[in-house]
Amino acid sequence: MRVNINMDEELVKKIDEIASKMHVSRSAYIAFAVSQKIQADKMLENMPELLQTMKFAVELEKAKKDSATIGAGNGGEV
């Protein structure tokens, strides 16, 4: 699909420099960059759920260690 957009001249120069180094067209680089940004945004949207899952996993491991310590006969005393 063809899309027309307006951009600052300096931004276009930077895009052209990077695209040239990557041996791709300006259009291909912009499509790639936007795709990467969308993927990053999706990851950030999922971050709270991921952090909650990680917290749960840490608490579960701590509970396992505590249970193993109690089962070893020292009652968790230091």
Q: What is the pLDDT along the chain (78 residues), one digit of tens a residue?
A: 999 999 999 999 999 999 999 999 999 999 999 999 999 999 889 888 889 999 999 999 999 888 888 877 655 555
Residue labelled with tokens 């999706």: 42
pTM of the complete model beyond 0.75 = no
> How far is the C-alpha of 60 from the C-alpha of 37, rounded, in Å?
34
Report the alpha-carbon angle 60-64-70, nearest 5: 140
For residue 39 the two structure tokens come to 């993927």
Domain ranges of the chain: 9-72
> How far is the C-alpha of 19 from the C-alpha of 21, rounded, in Å?
5
